[in-house]
Amino acid sequence: MKFKLFIDQNCEEEVICNVHARTALVDELERLVTQDASKDHLTGYLEDEIKILPLNEIECFFVEDEKTFASYENGKKYLVKKRLYELEEMLPSDFVRINKSAIANSKKISKFKVNLSGAVDARFESGYTDYVSRRCFADLKRRFDL
């Protein structure tokens, strides 16, 4: 594989890839190239407060009462005006789906707790806890080598 980089401030930015087949690496390259560079943060709402939330400080996105919230590292939950499927498309690969109504930042999970019933909970650094569905737990096991 060859890589060439040309820096010219007078031309429009363009990325061209010549590949033999579409692979996971090609998909990831496409996502990185097409994502908006200013999307390293989201706007969160808490009562009369509007806060810029850096993505690396968000622990989890979850749905409650048909509204999407971000669990922030300070323990507060901020309203986010995006749906989970919209967030899933724009979030970096550190974020993984843990159940039908939650997407977690894998870097912010402090531990997994197995209950007597066999259910698994993800506990985050702030103390927030959410359950991990069986379907999503298989992916998490591969990611964390559990």
Radius of gyration of the chain (CA): 18
Residue 139, pLDDT score: 82
Q: With H, G, I as helix, E, B as strand and everything else as coil, classify residue 21.
A: coil
Residue spans of the domains in the chain: they are: 41-144
pTM over cut 0.85: no
Does position 38 have pLDDT exceeding 60, yes or no? Answer: no
CB 98 within 8 A of CB 122: yes
User: Between residues 111 and 143, which one has the greater pLDDT?
Assistant: 111
pLDDT in tens, 44-100: 999 888 888 899 899 999 999 999 999 988 888 999 999 999 998 888 888 999 999
How many residues does this entry show for the chain? 146
DSSP H or E segment with residue 41? strand 41-46
* CATH code assigned to 41-144: 2.40.50.1020
CB 120 within 8 A of CB 131: yes
